[in-house]
Structure 1
């Protein structure tokens, strides 16, 4: 076999190997990019929920105007990620106060939301807290929950191969520092 034929055979082998590996490399790059977007969204919403809860927990009282200002703050802190959307169901933010009862349970004192809230298993919307968290009797906690329905693996057909994750859900639970905040515009039931 001549040296020229061997060189041509090697070139052909390299081209075939590249053709076999290239789709996997592209899929890996797309998956990595999608995961970065998902993690960035999650970190941003975690920070937003913590910041809004921190600001709200420092209030002596909260009125409707104060809560509306907290929603606006959530939108600014989370930008460019949506903290809440107008009617399209992409994202929502809930701000609630849950108080402890004398019999060891939790009760929802008040909740306000901005954006479309149509999902079950809400942290504050049902008056339940994650991981069986119980508020001590006579105390209250402020809960800020932000849900963004962004999903990783949305590019092309990647979800067929790698699966998908649910919406990004972040929340912060803080004790109010100056008051119980159990009243907004009506007494706690």
Structure 2
């Protein structure tokens, strides 16, 4: 099982899957260091890597889980294509992420802060990558009854099954973002300020 997520979901997964069979991937050395300190995760394989360029062979894992990560991906379609590639035939991918808010002020901050995909986009990304039996379920607090006009930012889980061995049928060009290029200090400060404002 391949898990690309913050530390907390891993702890839940290893309650149901033998830790020896779990591979944890994150782009942040800090998050990986936190994972290594957790006793239940000691036997997991822990790797630093990019969700849009997974360091695994094709047909590597029987399950793929990504939680709380897609909103930071520069190109979500590329990340989902990679999820398809590394799964074995019949393997299932599960992606958990936020859903685009309905309230105008929430939408403004969502647009400037990070990626909040629409439900239709999640489904389209999975289907374009080649997944079959794509299903989306909304995630929210127990008191939530499906009315989104109040602007509450909700989440969803999307699952899909890989129907055939090999790489995704979707063809994409080279990656757009150059992570080696330094971030401009003013742009970083502005994004940080907007993020703090949106969070509060």
TM-score (norm 1): 0.29
Higher Rg: 1
Q: Which fold has the larger relative contact order, with Cα–Cα distance below 8 Å and residues 6 or more apart in sequence? A: 1
Q: Which has the higher helix share?
A: 1
TM-score, length basis structure 2 = 0.27
